Chain A
Amino acid sequence: MALDSYAIGIDLGTANTCVGVYLDGRVEIIPHEGRSSMPSYVAFTETGRLIGAAAKSQVGINPKNTVFDALRLIGRRYSDAEVQADMKHFPFQVLEKKGKPVISVEYRGNTRHLTPEEILSMILSRAKKDAEIYLGSTIMGAVITVPSYFNSSQRQAIRDAALISELPVLLLINGPTAACSDYVITRRFEGERNVLVADFGAGTFNVVLASFEEGILEVKSTASDLHLGGEDYDNRMVNHFVNEIKRKTKKDLTVNRRALRRLRTACEAAKCELSSRKQTQIEIDSLYDEFDFTSTITRAWFEELCQDLFRSHLDPVERVLRDAKMDKSSVHHVIVIGGSSRIPKLQTLLSYYWGGKELSKFLNPDETVARGAAIHAAIMSGYNSKSSNLDEFLLLDVAPFSLGIETAAGCMTPIIKRNSTIPIRKSVVVSTYEDNQTSFLVSAFEGERALTKYNIPLGEFSIQVSPAPRGVPQIEITFDCDRHDNKWVTAAERGTEKGKIYLRYFDRLSPEEIERMKVEARIYDAVDKAEAERVSARNALESHVYSVKRDVSSSDPRNASILRVATLADILLRWLDENQSAQASEYLLRLTGLREVAASITSESIDTDTTKVEAVERVQMPVQPIQAPPSQPLKKPPPSADTGADANSAPINVTFSAGNWQKTFKDST
């Protein structure tokens, strides 16, 4: 069934992004350069911008301008402990701008400061483009998954990123919830099923408990541990080895950042290997000062080292069960997703907790989140093919955090409790705490902490109240939270007009900024397109030159005209070598020239001199350079613009302008 426009599901991950689409009753994963997922990398170079696999593959030669892990920065403040900690590991530079982190990169010779929103918008627009090419039609919107611990600010920042990339967001859902949807829909269960999803992320551990019956997936509760994940195991190993080296060689590795990074990479690789093998080696040549580091580690040793970390995974599991008022025996399926779910000890730990229950594994654990998102995209876009049972499917999602207001002495008074099914509206009646108060300040916060200063501020406004002794005025405050993370607060004294605000996080991008970024995103795209055209023009010329050379080599070398073509081909080849970054028009000009010369020979005209000179002259007609992008503010002219050519300058560096081409051509014949 072909549609004009599709809705896609995007698993926007810290390391990898995976895209799925629901087609004819099943989900297909959209390939990115032949692979099922795209590295969440964006790179900036002298000539342009690379997104995905191409960006990741050149990270070694361009570490300062290759951006990854933007998801760790998005929606956070520069001063956040997480940002400060992450920055230490980033090879690219993170700066502060209006309290938010921005990434500084060199792009076409200019320094540019990009927000994490812009980086993610590039990844999203690449995902959209891959999908457009794969499906051969436009994309109407996307369901994007986010880590379940994301707060309003981070979720809003993802929406902003999508706005910049001009991809309408149909819905944001939590990754584990998407995986759960994929699981229950593809298995088509009968009767009530309680499903627990454990998402072992790189830095966090998230658990979702949901109940599924007759097409309705009701999220019961969620819980997270924000400092428990694969990286913590790596850190354990790194610390262990640092101490060991210190003990044995009296060297302090912590002062050598490069050595530390190499040790960390090796530990991470060893950890992954221990999931399938019982024992592995860590070998790092000349870790520092000619010291080669080797160590053999066993799975048992690793499990012992991280035992307490592994154990603490059970806390969030117990918390979701408690929050949902559910006994562990009533959980039918335990699903594990995420990278660290491959660690055998974690699997046995969970399995043991459920008395030896077998965990449900996916055939493709890396795709399941995108699959779930694609299913939701199909539902949200209203596209349901008859063969599917999506019509009957409904997700009842919950608010991931409590929403509340600040009351006396900076206390947080939750109004909408976390794990409440959304959409939801709830009211409370509060009163003043001073005599004759004339205005009342409503400050809204999000979070679970008892004091508002530890929670996230969402917005504030004040309303008029009529003077009265404290505790007398009745002020009704209503929180409203819809399916799309929009939140409103209304407040008013009973019987008066209401004040209403739409809650937006204080640090959000302004509409003007988003507009500007949108325009810049189009410029980046145009530059990329021009660059792609340039490269393809260059390739066309190069392959034509080689094919001419091949043809010529099989012909009579004594024929003068053939000799000339051969020489011309050689000249062009040399020119190509020296002008890797000429304009597309220059390549095309020479391509046409070569074609005409070659064509005149194949027609076997004997009077070669006249015809060819004519042809060559025609080739040298000045061609307007292709003015592809409206990108002047962004781009520096490439080093060999056609204006800089001069017949008198040194031939090796000179651009191949019309004049000296003819000259060289005649000289060499």
Chain B
Amino acid sequence: MPKLTNVKAEERLIGRHPDERGHFGPYGGTFIAETLMRPVAELRDAYERYAKDPEFLAELDAELRHYVGRPSPLYHAHRWSQAVGGARMYLKREDLNHTGAHKVNNTVGQALLAKRMGKTRIIAETGAGQHGVAAATVAARLGLECVVYMGAEDIERQAPNVFRMKLLGAEVVSVESGSKTLKDALNEAMRDWVGNVDDTYYIIGTVAGPHPYPMMVRDFNSVIGHEARAQVLEREGRLPDACVACVGGGSNAMGLFHPFLDDADVALYGVEAGGSGVETGKHAAPLSAGRPGVLHGNRTYLMQDSDGQITPAHSISAGLDYPGVGPEHAWLKDTGRATYVAVNDDEALAAFHACTRTEGIIPALESSHALAYAVKLAAGMRPDDIVVVGLSGRGDKDIQTVAAIEGIHL
């Protein structure tokens, strides 16, 4: 039986997909201005080199263990499973990582890579602020300058995370263009990178962007699925029947799913943010209700109008508030290997409360979308069935949002 301590970085990095030009079937690729072609090619070469470098891999493993606090537990939500009356639900506890979410798995990896590439300045985009905090954290840890781009609207909504980033020494730049949210922060970070390629490394926070980002961010997060797979085998002696994770850009879902892709009997469910309801148009569910197009360096499913203009996303959870999705998810959808569903704001909120009250775990609103669908799924399964749910982050950051919805002033 594989022990999770045996899942070394060298077995995790660089999976089979995409092809050498970053395509997952018709999705992914490198749709960027000529000015970015060289830095992106340099990044690709560096990643391919260091993903096979024993010293780099050993350092990555040591950082994940001693700084991030990995492995994260796979927790059997016993009381909640019993209350639901169906399958046994296991929660992969990424909320227990340093900084409180899965995002740090990726920023640790990319910051080590930045250092190897001789870069002294880190830039990042952020929506809810979780990736920004994770980037600022590793920049502080490694002594790198850090600039985080954040939409002006999100800065308003996420004041505690903005202050956290500043405490960590990062400069937070308010993005006033477009819809003033995550997608515009990504545009602005790209613009910074174009102008500062010599000393600057751009840490994208999700499995989107031009090749190699979707592959690389997936690889750094695949520690989630590798651990979960070994842990469930250890606990139950068999693989789970299903894995469930929330999908905004989709990095925690890709990280959980990827090590299970070859396990044909493990069903994979990605849960998008249905907002007020997919039928209302106010949602963040491009896989459920969008169509393919090109944005932020790759081809994928997008929320867009008939003219190809990107339309704003809506979700109770700022971290899922993105009109695109990682290209590998688009491919998993089309090939049928994974199933994508949408969960509305109110369903996510109900799961947030249920998890908190039943298990004593306050989940992030993002993760609450996965929990809400997992409960529905588990309810229709047998008691000896197993569902693994990605609990991608903790919900402390969301208590103000939840309080405001319930009319409580903190």
Same complex for A and B? Answer no
Residues on B facing A (Cβ under 8 Å): none
User: Which A residues are closer than 8 A to B by beta carbons?
Assistant: none
